[in-house]
Amino acid sequence: MNVTYQNIKGTFDILPDAQDGSDAPIPGSPAWQYVESVIRDVMARYNMLEIRTPILEPTPLIARGIGQLTDIVAKEMFAFERGDTQYVLRPEVTAPVMRAYLQHRLDQRGGVQKLFYIGPCFRAESPQKGRYRQFHQFGCEVIGSPDPRADAETIALMMDVYAAFGITDLRLRLNTLGDEQSRPRYREALQAYLAPHADRLSETSRQRLRTNPLRILDTKDERERALLAGAPRLIDFVDDESRAFYEEVKALLDLLDIPYEEDPFLVRGLDYYTHTAFEVESDNLGAQRALGGGGRYDLLSREIGSKQAVPAVGFAAGIERLLLELTARGLPLPGIPAPDAFLVALGDEATRWVFATARTLRRAGLRVALDLKGRSMKAQMREANRQRARYTVIVGKDELAARQAQVKHMESGEQVAVAFDALAGFLLEHRAAVAA
């Protein structure tokens, strides 16, 4: 077939079947549904409620929320204007969830709001394995609690999502970014330390040295890492209260037996964090090692216009990277489901009977397939085979006269006659037997 248009670079179609993809395999929709159902299950166990916010948000919300100098806002936004309104395809969901919280006065519902989401996000990054321009995040936001238990619970939830897939050996990196005052002090100290060595920094880092020096801590460049080994550490600029908070988060993680590595250089790519910051990593993902990450963001609400600071903590993780991780570990992902029955008809009258019976069986709860192309009986049998149907139900003139169908178990080849009236019962019973 002639192909005129293709999907945009960095995006992909999720087909029923797995496909190769340009950088990495893209599992089929049944695998996505499975992963999402496991995520929903873990979210439910933590008593999280789902929130769905629009894909389009006002650009200033994102720019202010995430920070003008971050890569996401400075370089990676899909933003456009229509009339007087500036729109952006959301690059993440934390700022939108906080917007919704403030807009709908969710604080007045009492207690802490525990919200989760699963959905697409957009960042104009250069695509590679594990990095896309449209990708999917799952995550949660715990809003209204200043308690370190909210931080520890968020981390526990994130780790339990991976555990639910049988992944229990990921690296969890943890750091504290201190409060509002600590970061500017540290920023200055880091600038002062790095400035005399600017010639040893990459072009990007030299730029960051002026604009956003903390981001240099993230560098993967060996020479820069060596230079950073002697740099001042954020923890030394953190006040006693923040330090005590951090100690409590660690003690709670210990209580839950969640291992972590402290990483004084973990800063994350979004500006809204204070106190706790964390990331979960895998060695299976190549350059894009971060499966997920998050932290506390007590200042975000004020940044986006609230008079009050609303204490909050959350995480988000990429579904593509989770799927890559599952694939790398050889963990099974479901493929296209097989029909319980494929109805095969021989002759016009049988074709009509099959067409009506398919609906009866479907209403009884069965997954039923049939030919919609007027193919020969042989071709219908081939199609039933291709679809791996558990049973074929074969009906011709004789079967119509006797009011019973030939029902063939495709794997064993065993065939029995089943009365029309008993067909749904037979198929349901045998499906249950297989499932059990």
Strand, coil or helix: what is 45? helix
Distance in angstroms (rounded) separating the CA atoms of residues 326 and 285: 11
Cβ within 8 Å of residue 74, ≥6 positions away: 68
State the nearest-atom distance from the C-beta of 134 to ligand HAM, in Å: 8
CB 276, CB 174: distance < 8 Å:
yes
Residues 46-75 that bind ligand HAM (CB under 6 A): none
**144 lies in the binding site for ligand HAM (CB under 6 A):** no
State the nearest-atom distance from the C-beta of 296 to ligand HAM, in Å: 8
Q: Which two tokens stand for residue 131?
A: 């990095």
**137 lies in the binding site for ligand HAM (CB under 6 A):** yes
Choose, by CB under 6 A, the member of 295, 304, 371, 381 that binds ligand HAM.
295
Cα 406 to chain centroid distance, Å, stands at 45
**132 lies in the binding site for ligand HAM (CB under 6 A):** yes
Distance in angstroms (rounded) separating the CA atoms of residues 107 and 175: 28
Whole-number Cα distances in Å, 385 to 119, 159, 340, 369, 412: 35, 41, 12, 11, 12
Ranges of H-type helices in 18-75: 29-45, 59-66, 71-75
Q: How many residues bind ligand HAM (CB under 6 A)?
A: 27
**141 lies in the binding site for ligand HAM (CB under 6 A):** yes
**294 lies in the binding site for ligand HAM (CB under 6 A):** yes
State the nearest-atom distance from the C-beta of 292 to ligand HAM, in Å: 5
Between 71 and 340, name the residue whose CB sits nearer to ligand HAM: 71
DSSP codes joined into one string, 201-239? S-HHHHHHHHH-GGGGGG---HHHHHHHTTS--GGGGS-
Between 125 and 179, name the residue whose CB sits nearer to ligand HAM: 125
Residues 91-110 that bind ligand HAM (CB under 6 A): 92, 94
Rounded to the nearest 5°, which phi and psi values hold at 220?
-105, -10
The contact pattern for ligand HAM, residues 314-353, with x = CB under 6 A and - = no contact, is xxxxx-xx--------------------------------
Between 122 and 391, name the residue whose CB sits nearer to ligand HAM: 122
Choose, by CB under 6 A, the member of 27, 67, 293, 339 that binds ligand HAM.
293
Piece in contact with ligand HAM (CB under 6 A), picked from 17-25, 41-49, 136-144, 401-409: 136-144
The two beta strands, 391-395 and 341-345, are: parallel
**151 lies in the binding site for ligand HAM (CB under 6 A):** no
**12 lies in the binding site for ligand HAM (CB under 6 A):** no
Residues 208-267 that bind ligand HAM (CB under 6 A): none
CB 413, CB 385: distance < 8 Å:
no
Angle, CA 119 vertex, CA 52 and CA 97 arms, to 5°: 40
**269 lies in the binding site for ligand HAM (CB under 6 A):** yes
Q: Which two tokens stand for residue 233?
A: 């550490």
Piece in contact with ligand HAM (CB under 6 A), picked from 157-165, 188-196, 312-320, 369-377: 312-320
Between 94 and 176, name the residue whose CB sits nearer to ligand HAM: 94
State the nearest-atom distance from the C-beta of 209 to ligand HAM, in Å: 22
Cβ within 8 Å of residue 207, ≥6 positions away: none
Whole-number Cα distances in Å, 272 to 170, 213, 328: 25, 15, 33
Between 194 and 317, name the residue whose CB sits nearer to ligand HAM: 317
Binding site for ligand HAM (CB under 6 A): 92, 94, 123, 125, 130-132, 135, 137, 139, 141, 269-270, 290-295, 297, 314-318, 320-321
